[in-house]
Structure 1
Amino acid sequence: MVAADKGTSGSNNMITGSEQVGTFRYLVADERWWFSPEVFAMHGLAPDTVLTSDLVLAFKHPDDRLPSLELITKVLFVGKPFCFPHRIIDTAGQTHNVVVLGHATTDAAGLTTSIDGYAVDLTDSQRRYADEAGTEAIRAATEHRAAIEQAKGAMMVVYGLSPVAAIELLRWHSTQSNVKLQVVAERLVELLTGKTLSSPVTRRSVDQMLYDITHRLD
């Protein structure tokens, strides 16, 4: 579960600690999906449901179905880490606002063998936030959360961290420097855009980026 950001004011913070978080995997050779119980619950499906790509896409909001397919295709061919906010409609007809983040695993030939990642259901936290903030603030906060999820995903890939450890490391940099978590995340995502997140050199580069963001912020 993602912990709340204690360093951000309530008006800008959508990390409440109540978000439902689960994992997923897509095995390319078998064209088979695997969901953790939490992700099955987001869709309103029984845990023993056989998952296919057509079924997974069928749960996407109609406006998000094509972007979802385009993302899967891009990850299969390019293999870079991704963060994708979108909507799913469960079996009861309820809409869920979800952020998925993950990365592709490739073989020796560079072909993608699987896609692994995390899904975060923001629906309840957004609903509670709506009671306090209003539509415009929600839109801005959703953008902040997407940046935080993307930064967290990058930290997981670069350092090999769990989701909780990744967000805690970002929060540690935020607290130590008194720079808001969303600012650290947004600047890190901006600096990492277009970079490869795998080599030890990149890890040292990320260390330097975080130092620059938190100690030399304009």
Structure 2
Amino acid sequence: MASNSMTADTPERTAPVRPASLAEVLALGTHLVVGQYRVELGSGSWWWSDEVYQMHGWAPGDVEPGLDAMRSRKHPDDRARVVRAATDALRAGRPFSCSHRIVDGHGKARCVVITGQGRRDARGRVVEIAGYVVDVTPAQRETLDREANRAVTRAFVSAASVEQAKGVLMAVHGVDDVAASHLLAEAAGAAGVPVQETAAQVMTALAKAGGIGPTAEATVAGAVAAVKPVARPHAHEAQLARRREPSRR
């Protein structure tokens, strides 16, 4: 029976990795400014790359890299925050990562993520901290933009349903926009359902009925009468429902 284990005579072979494939796997599609820094603990001397100057709103050489410069750009609301995990990691030389906000030279708030790791000397003492500073503000903005677009889309859909339902009421009952709004609001109040949800249910019911048809008033009245509250599961019920779902793996 053949063995699957590798021996010294049969070194493991792996396929070469193309840069394009690696970029496709690692990249998330948002360009972020990444800088490097280095701190010698014994002498207290700092070094950081041009990107760190840039994200803080300085040109290289404008300030001396160090604690005072970094503190001067920290967001006021984050100045008193103590990151205990990062402090412990710094003392032990372990890898760490934390985030905070800064205010750049133009007065704009930005969010940065700082990573680092200690370097030890021959005696095992942590003598240097080195790592990266990443400006993640563009990624945050993209997330906020996506959420805003979803909210606007939902608002347009709701408004469209309301306008459609009002149009139906105006056509069937021969009333104006204001009167149709009152009729829709009354139906919503009677059913204990928001106006947007009432309008959506009315239009869904009319679509299922194949339109208004020759008995317009009766059809619309039936659609309005069928409006009912939507049962929304409590948090623990939603969790139970998710647990009951079959695994998709």
In the superposition, the TM-score normalised over structure 1's length comes to 0.51
Asked if residue 82 in structure 1 is aligned to residue 96 in structure 2, the reply is yes
* Deviation for aligned residue 1:110: 2.5
Q: Give the alignment of 1:34-49 within 5 angstroms.
A: 34-48=47-61, 49=63
One-letter amino acid of the counterpart of residue 64, structure 2 = V
SS of residue matched to 1:126: helix
- 8 A Cα contact 2:86 2:96, kept in partner: no
- 8 A Cα contact 1:5 1:16, kept in partner: no
Tell me which structure has the larger Cα radius of gyration. 2
Q: Distance in 1 between matches of 2:89 and 2:40?
A: 13
Query: Could you tell me which of 43, 46, 52 is aligned with 1:33?
Result: 46
Q: Distance in 2 between matches of 1:22 and 1:44?
A: 13
Q: Give the alignment of 1:1-218 within 5 angstroms.
A: 15-48=28-61, 49-67=63-81, 70=84, 73-134=87-148
One-letter amino acid of the counterpart of residue 101, structure 1 = T
Listed as ranges, the gaps of 5+ residues in structure 1 are: 9-13, 135-217
- 8 A Cα contact 2:90 2:117, kept in partner: no
Q: Distance in 1 between matches of 2:64 and 2:105?
A: 15
One-letter amino acid of the counterpart of residue 65, structure 2 = L
SS of residue matched to 2:127: strand
* Deviation for aligned residue 1:54: 2.2
- 8 A Cα contact 1:4 1:16, kept in partner: no
* Deviation for aligned residue 1:108: 2.4
SS of residue matched to 1:105: strand
Q: Distance in 2 between matches of 1:7 and 1:35?
A: 28
Listed as ranges, the gaps of 5+ residues in structure 2 are: 1-20, 149-248
* Deviation for aligned residue 1:75: 3.6
One-letter amino acid of the counterpart of residue 46, structure 2 = W
- 8 A Cα contact 2:86 2:97, kept in partner: no
* Deviation for aligned residue 1:129: 2.4
The residue number in structure 1 matching 2:16 is: none
Larger relative contact order, structure 1 or 2 (CA cutoff 8 Å, min sep 6): 1
Change in 2 beyond 3 A, CA 1:7/1:111? closer
SS of residue matched to 1:30: coil
One-letter amino acid of the counterpart of residue 124, structure 1 = P
One-letter amino acid of the counterpart of residue 44, structure 1 = G
Q: Distance in 1 between matches of 2:86 and 2:67?
A: 10
The list of structure 1 runs, each at least 4 consecutive aligned residues, that deviate by more than 3 angstroms after superposition, is 3-8, 66-73
One-letter amino acid of the counterpart of residue 81, structure 1 = P
In the superposition, the TM-score normalised over structure 2's length comes to 0.45
Q: Distance in 1 between matches of 2:80 and 2:92?
A: 18
Deviation digits for residues 154-179 of structure 1 (CA, Å, limit 9, x no counterpart): xxxxxxxxxxxxxxxxxxxxxxxxxx
Identical aligned residues as a percent: 35
Change in 2 beyond 3 A, CA 1:4/1:126? farther
